[in-house]
Amino acid sequence: MAYKRPESVLVVVYSDQHQVLLLQRKDDPEFWQSVTGTLEDGETPAMTAFREVKEELGIDLSDDPMAIIDCHTVNQFAIRPRWRYRYPPNTYSNTEYVFCTQISQSATIILTEHLALEWLSKQQAIERAWSPSNRRAIEAFVPEPKS
């Protein structure tokens, strides 16, 4: 098995209705998250963000280089002990680059790596997202509805 690189992206997906898309992991149904994925050799974080949206949601945004926004936020977090075997020995932390994108709630989403999806209010998504970095990204980068 090839080890995963301890660098990943987090792509917060929200709609024009200010709903946040969360995905339920297959390997841990209690774990709800935004789109995530590991950087592959030769990829920049932005390239990974576009690839992961396409792989996880079946939505190709590559025609518009501005479709996914770099939030200029980089997180460091401890890799969950149950997942450390996927990384090189003695690798305990991951670097995560944060992005966001807006899509229509009516867009056809094809789940390939998750059990389920839900569109939630910003507050519901903050409460449901498993990882602290995902919760902080939703709080910081999903716009509030205009009054």
Residue 52 annotated as binding site: yes
Residue 36 annotated as binding site: yes
Which neighbouring-strand residues pair with 19?
A: 121
The CA distances from residue 48 to 9, 81, 103, in Å, are 7, 24, 18
Residue 113 annotated as binding site: yes
Residue 56 annotated as binding site: yes
Residue 122 annotated as binding site: no
Which of these, 80, 68, 79, 77, lies nearest to 96 by C-alpha position? 77
Residue 4 annotated as binding site: yes
Residues in the annotated binding site for substrate:
4, 25, 36, 131
Residues in the annotated binding site:
4, 25, 36, 52, 56, 113, 131
Residues in the annotated binding site for Mg(2+):
52, 56, 113
